[in-house]
């Protein structure tokens, strides 16, 4: 009964819904006209906001679970990285930025897993949260892509994407430094 309650807690269900929204990225980016691009951007923002909601509920109501700690960062990366990958073939995002982002995510996941398996937990940093926020804003603007309210969403998205890239590299280096310091002190 306890395991069932942990798996089907409200925060975990919200996280699973976020993961379930990812296939809609595939479907809606098949025909990326102005209308569907806007719909997709709205869907992406809603999915991104569920990250705040599930975390808030989990902490406020003491519903933090091991499954939630595992699924939440996967859901975030799956949502953002899938959107970025899918925008490469339609020319909305440079492939090299996506590659750097994914490589960084894999390295940070490896560092955090290796550390936690030895009892040293590297918590998500403020830099990592800034990276995620910049990525969400950039991806949203790049999903919109077209001029809206007189603003070139694609140009704004590219500028913010470079800010996100900066935070991606810096936060990745921060995790590596924390990992290196911990193990060099042993």
**Average pLDDT of the residues in 114-141:** 89
Q: How many domains does the chain have?
A: 1
Phi, psi for 148 (deg, rounded to 5): -135, 130
- Distance, CA of 157 to CA of 52 (rounded, Å): 22
The answer to whether the Cα torsion of 176, 179, 185, 186 is positive or negative is negative
Question: How many whole angstroms separate alpha carbon 76 and alpha carbon 42?
Answer: 16
Q: Render pLDDT for 4-36 as a digit per residue (tens, 0 to 9).
A: 566 678 888 888 988 988 888 778 777 778 998
How many helices (H) and strands (E) would you count in the chain?
Answer: 7, 2
Question: Mean pLDDT for the chain?
Answer: 89
- The encoded tokens of residue 181 equal 């310091």
Question: The domain containing residue 153 runs over which residues?
Answer: 2-184
Look up the CATH number of the domain holding residue 128.
1.20.120.1760
66 and 6 Cβ atoms separated by less than 8 Å:
yes
Range with lowest mean pLDDT among 106-115, 131-140, 170-179: 106-115
pTM for the model stands at 0.88
């Amino acid at each position: 009964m306890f395991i069932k309650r942990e798996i089907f807690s409200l925060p975990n269900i919200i996280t699973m819904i976020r993961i379930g929204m990812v296939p809609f990225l595939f479907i809606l980016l098949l025909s990326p006209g102005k209308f569907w691009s806007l719909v997709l951007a709205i869907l992406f923002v809603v999915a991104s906001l569920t990250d705040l909601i599930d975390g808030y509920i989990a902490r406020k109501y003491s519903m933090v679970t091991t499954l939630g700690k595992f699924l939440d960062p996967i859901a975030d990366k799956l949502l953002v990285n899938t959107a970025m990958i899918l925008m490469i073939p339609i020319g909305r995002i440079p492939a090299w930025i996506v590659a750097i982002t994914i490589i960084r995510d894999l390295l940070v996941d490896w560092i955090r897993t290796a550390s936690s398996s030895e009892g040293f937990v590297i918590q998500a940093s403020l830099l990592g949260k800034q990276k995620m926020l910049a990525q969400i804003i950039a991806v949203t603007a790049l999903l919109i892509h077209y001029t809206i309210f007189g603003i070139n969403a694609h140009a704004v998205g590219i500028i913010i994407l470079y800010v996100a890239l900066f935070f991606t590299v810096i936060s990745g280096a921060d995790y590596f430094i924390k990992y290196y310091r911990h193990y060099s002190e042993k």
